[in-house]
Amino acid sequence: MLLDPAILPPDVGWRFAFLIGAVLGLVIFLMRFWLPESPRWLITHGRGEDAERVVLGIEAAFRARGHCLSPASLPVLRLRARRFTPLREVAKTLFRTQRSRTLVGLSLMASQAFFYNAIFFTYALVLTDFYGIRGDRVGWYLLPFAAGNFLGPVILGHLFDTIGRRQMITFTYAVSGLLLAGAGYLFALGILTASGQTIAWMVIFFFASAAASSAYLTVSETFPLEIRALAIAFFYAVGTGIGGMGGPWLFGWLIDTGSRWSVFGGYLLGAALMIAAALVAARYAVAAERKPLEAVARPLAAVD
68 and 94 share one domain: no
Of 165, 149, 174, 186, the closest CA to residue 272 belongs to 174
What is the pTM (predicted TM-score) of this model? 0.85
Whether residue 42 has pLDDT greater than 90: no
Q: How far apart are CA 288 and CA 157, in angstroms?
A: 14
CB atoms within 10 A of CB 7: 11
| Domain membership flag for residue 270 | yes
| Domain membership flag for residue 81 | no
Q: Give the residue, 64 or 175, on which the prediction is more confident.
A: 175
| Domain membership flag for residue 82 | no
Q: How far apart are CA 281 and CA 100, in angstroms?
A: 10
11-15, 142-146, 212-216: which range is least confident on average?
A: 11-15
Tell me, rounded to whole angstroms, the distance of Cα 142 from its chain centroid: 19
56 and 113 share one domain: no
Q: Give the residue, 10 or 211, on which the prediction is more confident.
A: 211
Whether residue 78 has pLDDT greater than 70: yes
Contacts of 89 (CB under 8 A, 6+ apart): 300
| pLDDT score recorded for residue 268 | 94
93-107, 109-123, 189-203: which range is least confident on average?
A: 109-123
| Domain membership flag for residue 304 | no
pLDDT tens digits, 128-164 = 989 989 877 887 888 888 899 999 999 999 999 999 9
| Domain membership flag for residue 303 | no
| Domain membership flag for residue 3 | no
66 and 181 share one domain: no
| Domain membership flag for residue 220 | yes
| Residue range of the domain that includes 39 | 10-75
| pLDDT score recorded for residue 159 | 95
pLDDT tens digits, 277-301 = 999 999 999 999 988 888 888 888 8
